[in-house]
Structure 1
Amino acid sequence: MYSGSMSTPDRLIEATRALLWERGYVGTSPKAILERAGAGQGSMYHHFSGKPDLALAAIRRTAEELRAALEDVLGPPGTPYERIEAYLRRERDVLRGCPVGRLTMDPDVIASDELRAPVDEMLAWLRGRLAAVVEEGRVQGQFAASLDSGQTAATILATVQGGYVLARASGSPAAFDAAVRGLLALLSPGDAPKGGRS
């Protein structure tokens, strides 16, 4: 499944990342990780102290990749509204949910300060990054002067994460798309935007 040039630790991390997204922490057994990674017995404990250590490395890598992808969307060029719209409409597997956000529903991850930390850090970074874009738009007069940038950023993030939940519950991305359209209409400096998820 993985390139022959990929090191064993990288194969283990990539396998764990995929399994955490598919099955959650409890459903990700060491045996499943080894099978997915094409790694031999004992290789996990040769490179990592155990499943929690490997899961932490996987969560950190997922958060790092997601942060880089989101920075590409939220950074210039484009107006603040266009960048927030690009974030909301970015290509995503809606029915699978957010690879980081879904971990907040995993009781074993939330019960572990160590495993929860990179999840919390990623979401806090995203709230801060969105707040900065909203504040930029507010200062430029693109958004209402009365908007609280931090609260608006939290609303944007909650719309995305809640949209995943609604979409998964209904088995269709339509609920996610409706939430995005509604939020963009509220934020729009002009006419409400048209269309769904790109």
Structure 2
Amino acid sequence: MYSERMSTSERLVEATRELLWERGYVGTSPKAIQQRAGAGQGSMYHHFSGKPDLALAAIRRTADELRATAEAALGGPGSAHERIAAYLLRERDVLRGCPVGRLTMDPDVIASDELRAPVDETLAWLRGRLADIVQEGSERGELSAALDPAEVAATIVATVQGGYVLARASGSTAAFDAGVRGLLALLGSRPAQGS
């Protein structure tokens, strides 16, 4: 399952990332982590002080990966609308949901300032990055100057996260896809000349 070159600590972090996405914090037991990572209890506690420490490392890595993936689309070439579209239309495992966004539904993660911090920071970074692109698009005349960049950024993130919820509830990506198409249509409309 894991590369033979991966260290035990790397295997533990990767196993925890997968289990958090599949089961959430409560459903991710140290035993399940150890089994998935192929590591013993002694190895786990040699590298990490306990489940919260390991979960924090896993959440941080997942957050970093989400940022890198989002930036690959948002930092690419094209107009503001094209870059936002690249982000919204990028390949995702929609029915699994967002590995970061799903953590907001986990009461133990939300109750812990330390575990919640990388989740909040990542979603705040994403809203800020999107707001910058909307602002840039407005200034270049690619998007309506009437748009509030922070509000549009929040709408984009809410559409994606809400789309995951709708898709998971229905067992189909159709609602996610419809939300993305609708948002792109709204962003693509600019006021008529002279309005």
In the TM superposition, 1:97-116 aligns within 5 A as 97-116=97-116
In the TM superposition, 1:36-185 aligns within 5 A as 36-185=36-185
Partner residue in 2 for 1:8:
8
> Greater share of helix residues, 1 or 2?
2
How many matched pairs? 190
- Percent of counterpart pairs with the same letter? 79
SS at match of 2:94: coil
Paired amino acid for 2:102? R
Distance in 2 separating the partners of 1:85 and 1:183: 9
Please tell me whether the aligned partners of residues 81 and 188 of structure 1 are also in contact (alpha carbons under 8 angstroms). yes
Q: CA deviation at 1:44?
A: 1.1
Distance in 2 separating the partners of 1:167 and 1:69: 21
Distance in 2 separating the partners of 1:159 and 1:29: 32
Paired amino acid for 1:124? A
Normalised by the length of structure 2, the TM-score is 0.96
Task: Tell me how large the CA RMSD over aligned residues is.
Answer: 0.8
Distance in 1 separating the partners of 2:147 and 2:116: 30
Normalised by the length of structure 1, the TM-score is 0.94
SS at match of 1:110: helix
Partner residue in 1 for 2:193:
none
Distance in 1 separating the partners of 2:120 and 2:91: 23
Paired amino acid for 1:136? E
Partner residue in 1 for 2:29:
29
Distance in 2 separating the partners of 1:145 and 1:67: 27
Distance in 1 separating the partners of 2:87 and 2:105: 23
Which sections of structure 1, spanning at least 5 residues, go unmatched?
191-198
Distance in 2 separating the partners of 1:113 and 1:123: 15
Which sections of structure 2, spanning at least 5 residues, go unmatched?
191-195
Q: CA deviation at 1:31?
A: 0.3
Partner residue in 1 for 2:188:
188
Please tell me whether the aligned partners of residues 142 and 189 of structure 1 are also in contact (alpha carbons under 8 angstroms). no
Partner residue in 1 for 2:20:
20
Deviations along 1:94-146, whole A, 9 cap, x unmatched?
01000000000000000000000000000000000000110110001111111
Q: CA deviation at 1:189?
A: 4.1
Paired amino acid for 1:116? R
Distance in 1 separating the partners of 2:42 and 2:98: 31
Distance in 1 separating the partners of 2:136 and 2:76: 11
Distance in 2 separating the partners of 1:167 and 1:41: 37
